[in-house]
Amino acid sequence: MDVRQLSAIVAIADHGTFSAAARALYTVQSNVSGHVARLEKELGVTLVDRANGGLTDDGDRVVQRARRVLNEIDEISSDVGSKSENVSGQLRLGLIGTTARWLMPALLTRLHELHPNVRVILHEGATSTIAPNVHGGEFHAGIVHLPIDDPDLVVEPLFAEDLMLMVPQGHPLHGNDATPLAAIDGMPMLLPPTGSALRKVLDRAAASANVRLRAHAEIDGVRLIAALAADGFAPAIVPATATAGWPADAADLVPMPELPRRVVAVIRRRRPTPSTATRVTIEVMREVIGEQAEAQPGVHLETSVF
């Protein structure tokens, strides 16, 4: 088993076919086929379903481990070859969509200015999928919302953001300075799915205030919830960064003081030590957040209150 074989099977997983994998690896299809065939022979299993396309169950398991091995190899090369003023390497970063839209333009710009040889590969997703990928080594780091309960992960809070009521133009609550939870008792709302982290927060707050949350629709994706609320389908409760970059008149964000703040954190594995590329990216991330927070309503650098 060698690196070329692992790279070949991962490339097939990422690109779907032998020919596409060959193009991604800047080689010819026969080389990719040969590497995969030798790996299958060595392991004694079929990794690629050549009749129907895609990986077999064994192939999926091998790819999960192969990604971790290849990431570790990249980090060795990055750390040995990097000096503080000339960091290089690749970083796979998982992140929640609301923070991605607010933070990534400024972060990627600053990172390119300071460390042009650091290559960031972004994977948008939910906290529930990002955290396992960081734990398993598929991602080098993740930007998620708390709580995270995994002793094998280092959790570093980045900022807190208010949860706010989003209402479209013309809604009766539009323009309010602040609104109690009682104002939405029984109101048709766009809500996250039952059991999701944000929905649990909302359900607990509503129960404490003796308020009934009524779902007009349950939607898995905060950015989509915000977009539909702005279009007038129904009000929604969203994090402050959900509408970052939108026109000021797209919708109104009304503070709801009874709701707790959502804390956003960066997570990484406790072992092994993070690569130089990962460390400098997190450092730049903190700098950019410190600069951006003041200009974004509802975002706070104090993270002690959940």
Task: Say which amino acid occupies 198.
Answer: L
Same-domain status, 124 and 136: yes
Averaged pLDDT score across all residues of the chain: 87
Domain that holds residue 18: 3-69
Please determine, for residue 181, whether its predicted confidence score (pLDDT) is greater than 90. Answer: yes
298 alpha carbon, distance to own chain's centre: 20
Q: Which of 79-88, 164-173, 181-190 has the lowest mean pLDDT?
A: 79-88
Number of residues that make up the chain: 306
* Contact present, 190 and 234 (Cβ < 8 Å): yes
Same-domain status, 14 and 59: yes
Q: What is the CATH number of the domain that holds 133?
A: 3.40.190.10
Same-domain status, 156 and 167: no
Residue 75: pLDDT band (50, 70, 90) is low
pLDDT for res 225 = 92
Which residues of 187-278 form beta strands (DSSP E)?
188-191, 214-218, 236-239, 252-255, 262-269
Between CA 163 and CA 264 the distance in angstroms is 12
Same-domain status, 91 and 29: no
Q: What is the pLDDT of residues 235-288, one digit of tens each?
A: 999 998 988 777 766 778 889 999 999 999 999 998 878 888 899 999 999 999
Same-domain status, 97 and 171: no
The predicted model gives 54-75 an average pLDDT of: 84
Same-domain status, 57 and 205: no
Q: What is the pLDDT of residues 138-153, one digit of tens each?
A: 899 999 988 888 899 9
Same-domain status, 35 and 176: no
Q: What is the CATH number of the domain that holds 177?
A: 3.40.190.290
Residue 75: inside a domain, yes or no?
no
Residue 295: pLDDT band (50, 70, 90) is confident
Same-domain status, 120 and 183: no
Residue 242: inside a domain, yes or no?
yes
Residue 284: inside a domain, yes or no?
yes
Same-domain status, 86 and 197: no
pLDDT for res 306 = 43
Same-domain status, 177 and 240: yes
Domain count, the chain: 3
Residue 76: inside a domain, yes or no?
no
Same-domain status, 177 and 256: yes
Same-domain status, 237 and 172: yes
Residue 86: inside a domain, yes or no?
yes
pLDDT for res 79 = 61
pLDDT for res 126 = 87
| Cβ neighbour number for residue 232 with a 10 Å cutoff | 13
Q: Which of 42-51, 128-137, 151-160, 297-306 has the lowest mean pLDDT?
A: 297-306
